[in-house]
């Protein structure tokens, strides 16, 4: 991945801040309640993160969360419905609101890529909606549990827009 990342491992992306936010319609279902549902999700190595375990009626997004010292670990399923904060703990430790986690792929245990830092100071992670790992077609979330700034799943391009709007203009 090389120069896509800076020294701290953050994505280094040239973003056209004036371009319209595109929604990857082929990767997202709109259900009868007009909710956006993620159908595909991949780690940086291309493993599918979609679980057989259903949450909000759909196959959830499966991740491993550890604390920053690797002393606690939880196996977690996140709602694939955009904007829903529902999670299911499969097994492992309890994390409290305000704790910062590392998010790992449940298959290869690779840490997800970092899009930028949230206003709360924690990393914002991204996972991908296609195997080409296009950051425009990613989903992002803050690594601080219960972060009020950006804890919901969001389209990464949408999150990038907001980030650049708040920090660069
Ligand atoms: Zn993986
Ligand atoms: Zn945050």
- Per-residue pLDDT tens, the chain, 169 aa: give them: 345 556 665 555 544 444 444 556 666 788 888 888 888 899 999 999 999 999 989 999 999 999 999 999 999 998 888 777 788 888 998 888 899 999 999 999 999 999 888 889 999 998 888 888 776 678 888 999 888 776 567 777 777 777 667 665 4
Give the number of the ligand closest to the Cα of residue 108: 1
Residues contacting 24, CB < 8 A, separation 6+: 129, 130, 136, 137, 155
57 CA distance to ligand 2 middle (Å)? 27
pLDDT at 12: 52
111 CA distance to ligand 1 middle (Å)? 8
119 CA distance to ligand 1 middle (Å)? 27
68 CA distance to ligand 1 middle (Å)? 19
10 CA distance to ligand 2 middle (Å)? 16
Give the E-state strand segments of the chain in sequence order. 28-30, 36-38, 50-55, 58-67, 73-78, 87-92, 101-104, 113-117, 123-128, 138-142, 154-155
32 CA distance to ligand 2 middle (Å)? 30
Tell me how many domains the chain contains.
1
Domain that includes residue 144, residue range = 2-167
148 CA distance to ligand 2 middle (Å)? 7
pLDDT at 169: 46
pLDDT at 137: 74
Report every protein residue that has its C-beta within 5 angstroms of ion ligand 2.
118, 120, 122, 142, 144, 147, 149
pTM of the predicted model as reported, rounded to 2 decimal places: 0.78
**Separation CA 67–CA 145 (nearest Å):** 11
61 CA distance to ligand 1 middle (Å)? 13
């Amino acid at each position: 991945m090389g120069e896509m990342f800076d020294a701290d491992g953050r994505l280094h992306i040239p973003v056209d801040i004036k371009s319209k936010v595109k929604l990857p319609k082929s990767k997202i279902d709109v259900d009868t309640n007009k909710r956006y549902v993620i159908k595909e999700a991949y780690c940086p190595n291309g493993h599918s993160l979609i679980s057989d375990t259903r949450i909000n009626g759909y196959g959830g997004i499966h991740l491993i969360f550890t604390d920053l010292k690797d002393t606690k670990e939880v196996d977690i399923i996140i709602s694939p419905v955009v904007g829903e904060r529902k999670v299911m703990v499969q097994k492992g430790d309890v994390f409290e609101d305000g704790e910062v986690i590392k998010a790992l792929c449940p298959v290869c245990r690779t840490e997800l890529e970092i899009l930028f830092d949230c206003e709360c100071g924690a990393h914002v992670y991204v996972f991908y909606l296609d195997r080409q790992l296009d950051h425009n077609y990613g989903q992002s979330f803050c690594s601080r549990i219960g972060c009020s700034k950006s804890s919901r799943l969001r389209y990464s391009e949408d999150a990038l827009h907001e980030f650049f709007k708040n920090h660069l203009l």
